[in-house]
Amino acid sequence: MQLDWCWRRFEDLGVDNVYDMLALRCQVFIVEQVPYLDPDGADRRAWHLLGRDAAGVLQAYLRVLDPGVKFDVPSIGRVAVAMASRGAGIGHALMRQAIERCAALWPGQAIALSAQAHLQHFYQAHGFQAVSAEYLDDGIAHVDMRRSAA
Q: How far is CA 90 from CA 17, 70, 73, 75, in A?
A: 19, 25, 25, 19
Q: How many CB atoms lie within 10 A of CB 58?
A: 22
pLDDT at 41: 87
Given a contact cutoff of 8 angstroms between Cβ atoms, the answer to whether 72 and 80 are in contact is no
pLDDT at 111: 98
Written as tens digits, the pLDDT of the chain (150 aa) is: 889 999 999 999 999 999 899 888 888 888 888 777 778 889 999 999 999 999 999 999 999 999 999 999 999 999 999 999 999 999 999 999 999 999 999 999 999 999 999 999 999 999 999 999 999 998 899 999 999 986
pLDDT at 35: 79
pLDDT at 48: 96
> Does this model's pTM top 0.85?
yes
d(CA 58, CA 20): 7
pLDDT at 30: 81
Q: What is the DSSP letter of 46?
A: E
pLDDT at 138: 85
Dihedral of the CA atoms 83, 94, 50, 40 (nearest 10)? 80
Domains of the chain in start order, with CATH, are 4-147 (3.40.630.30)
pLDDT at 29: 82
Q: Kindly report the CA angle at 127 between 36 and 101, in degrees rounded to 5?
A: 70
